[in-house]
Amino acid sequence: MNALINLSGFKSTAGIFLLCFFLCSGRNVCAESAPRYGGTIILTTTSDPRSFNPVLAKETSTTMVLAPVFEGLTTTDPFSMKPIPNLATAWDVSPDGLVWIFHLRPGVRWSDGAAFTADDVVFTFNDLIFNDTIPSSARDIFTVAGKPIRVEKVNALTVRVTLASKFAPFLRGMSQEILPKHILEGALKAGKFSSTWGIDANVRDIVGTGAFRIKEYRPGQRVVFEANPFYWKKSASGGRLPYLAGMVYMIVPSLDVELLKFIEGGIDVYDIRGMDYPLLKPREKELGFKVYDLGPDMGASFVVFNQNPGTNAKSGKAFIPAYKRAWFSDVRFRRAVAHAVDKKRIIEIVKNGLGYTQDGPESPGSGFFYNADVITYEYDLKKSAALLKDMGFVTRDKDGILEDGAGHSLEFTLLANADNTERVDIASILRKDLESLGIKVNLQLVEFNTLVAKLTSLFDWEAVVLGLTGSSDPHFGQNVWLSSGQLHMWNPRQAAPATDWEKRIDELFVLGVQELDEAKRKTYYDEYQRIVAEQVPMVYTALSARLIAVKDRLGNVKPSPYGGVLHNLEEIYIQ
């Protein structure tokens, strides 16, 4: 449920989906043939997974391929957006809301045939998520007011969870993936868990309770799945699920290649970029697909600057030169860059008019907790120049590059993942405007997983164009917004908040998660959004319209206000 680094700007992750609006079309939803078994759905990704271990995942290149494999005790109803039973059939809660008893679904088996029990739930939380030696973003989500939840086995099919304080979105958080104790306990005891289920693993050893299990992984080519023969869920008529015999994620080098594959008929689902819409929409009938407009992307698109004061443990060198960190840590610099983001041009040119401006950390697609009343930064290069001048930047020679008071040229490297043409185009537009101000921008395109490694472990970067997945509840982004968070990317894992405004956001997230009154919760999250907009640790650009093309050969596709088009993958079949 935690926020994740977004691979393409469109992809979602297990438990975190995008809002949409759907009208029955009478084609591949309302009038379909009876479901049948067999066949394979073909999907694409532009990056290899970094791991097959969901506890370690911080990016959608990993979570999207693991979503069909692992499940949580709860899931979210794709229409009501409320938590509903999954691996747990029901739960009881004490009057004070602090003690929860989960009744596990009997008869559930792991994909290797072993029985799923309370031991697996206890192991996942106590031994993995709350293990300080394992860098898990989920620990940020389940830590409230600095205290972890306590998970205990009552019997083989009953688990007690005790909270240290009230936890408003707790049930939704229990969609956290449960992992198999009988497979992973040995690696944990040997001190090898963090290297277990890496991309070099035997995929047959990756065991989940989901509708599919991984059959084959060929780096740079594909991830192949087969139906889990032990899957517990049944169809409305009592038949086995999934209907599909398998699925494939083809690994392609870019979104442009994805588009070609879709037109050629090689893949079944394609996330349409704004630039693709005029090409694809008129060809729905000809090529046999339907386009669904699911509204604004729920995530975030932004530029972020590195303010990390740390040093490389091996070399002793600072992650970033002190003088550049001083620039990036100055809110006037970040506001100057914010005024140089031409959001209307980005929407017009990059997204073909199919987009939405973004001014704060929550998307208008996230619903109730979205706050539109935040400071905005209109495109105004004169204001940018004035802010830079106020910081002491001047031009001293004929090259036109600004310099700080110590004579350092105002220059930085801006990263973007090469496979994402939209991010590359956004970076290019911003680069041109910044250079007109006297800022030298070195645009560097890298592979997505290389970029993620720089952000989350190496920390040797200066600026990056990036995206994050979103959720309808801000709490599930606290791994980004808490100063101690694993994805507090401009200065992560702080022992204590580095600034007063970060301290206040920490406080607001503690208040928000413990408040059960939704209206009061919103006041806390409204304030956090205002602070982020004022301090601009992330300089926001523009959100895409979520447009998805689905081939007519897929039956039982049911786009929802929360789950997108593949939320019911186990029920989809080949017509």
3-state secondary structure of 449: helix
Between CA 93 and CA 86 the distance in angstroms is: 17
Cβ–Cβ under 8 Å, residues 261 and 252: yes
pLDDT digits (tens, 9 = 90+) for 448-461: 989 999 999 999 99
**pLDDT score of 367:** 85
Interior angle at CA 198, CA 194 and CA 202, nearest 5: 125
Q: Give Cα 157 distance to the centre of its chain.
A: 31
φ, ψ of residue 289 in degrees (nearest 5): -150, 170
User: Are the beta carbons of 523 and 493 closer than 8 angstroms?
Assistant: no
Asked whether residue 498 is domain-assigned, the answer is yes
**Is residue 262 situated within a structural domain?**
no
CATH number at residue 441: 3.10.105.10
For residue 384, give both structure tokens.
């940018």
Q: Is there a domain that residue 433 lies in?
A: yes
Classified as helix, coil or strand, 535 is helix
- In the block, which residue shows the tokens 């005029």? 278
CA separation for the pair 124, 115 (Å, rounded): 15
The pair of structure tokens assigned to 217 is 């992984």
What residues contact residue 250 under an 8 Å CB cut-off, 6+ apart?
A: 42, 43, 44, 45, 221, 222, 261, 266, 267
What is the total count of domains within the chain? 1
Q: Which residues of the chain have pLDDT under 70?
A: 1, 7-33, 561
In a domain, 365, yes or no: yes
Range of the domain at 354: 300-544
Nearest to 480 by CA among 518, 529, 431: 529
Q: Whose structure tokens read 């088009």?
A: 565
Terminal alpha carbon distance of the chain: 32
**DSSP label of 282:** G
Phi, psi of 443 (to 5 degrees): -80, 125
Q: What are the two backbone dihedrals, phi and then psi, of residue 66, each rounded to the nearest 5 degrees?
A: -95, -15
Residue 33's pLDDT is 59
Going by their DSSP bridges, the two strands 246-251 and 40-45 should be labelled as parallel
Is 83 part of a structural domain of the chain? Answer: no
Contacts (Cβ under 8 Å, ≥6 apart) of 1: 15, 16, 138, 141, 172, 173, 175, 176, 471, 476
> Encoding tokens for residue 372?
């539109």
| Cα 321 from Cα 406, distance rounded (Å) | 13
Evaluate whether residue 471 is within a structural domain. yes
Closest listed residue to residue 542, CA positions, set 385, 411, 422: 422
For 110, the 3-state DSSP assignment is coil
Q: Which two tokens stand for residue 102?
A: 């989960």
From residue 399, give the alpha-carbon distance in Å to each of 403, 438, 439.
11, 9, 11
Say if 528 falls within a structural domain.
yes
Task: Identify whether 434 is part of a domain.
Answer: yes
CA angle 301/302/308 to nearest 5° reads: 135
Exposed, middle or buried by CB within 10 Å (0-12, 13-18, 19+), for 137? buried
For every residue of 47-83, which 3-state class applies, written as one string? CCCCECCCCCCCEHHHHHHHCCCCCCCEEECCCCCCE
Q: Residue 412: how many CB atoms within 10 A of its CB?
A: 19
Question: How many angstroms separate the CA atoms of 537 and 514, rounded?
Answer: 25
Which H, E and C letters describe 112-170, residue by residue? CCCECCHHHHHHHHHHHHCCCCCCCCHHHHHEECCEECEEEEEECCEEEEECCCCCCCH
For residues 405 and 397, give the distance between their C-alpha atoms in angstroms, rounded to a whole number.
Answer: 14
pLDDT for position 29: 38
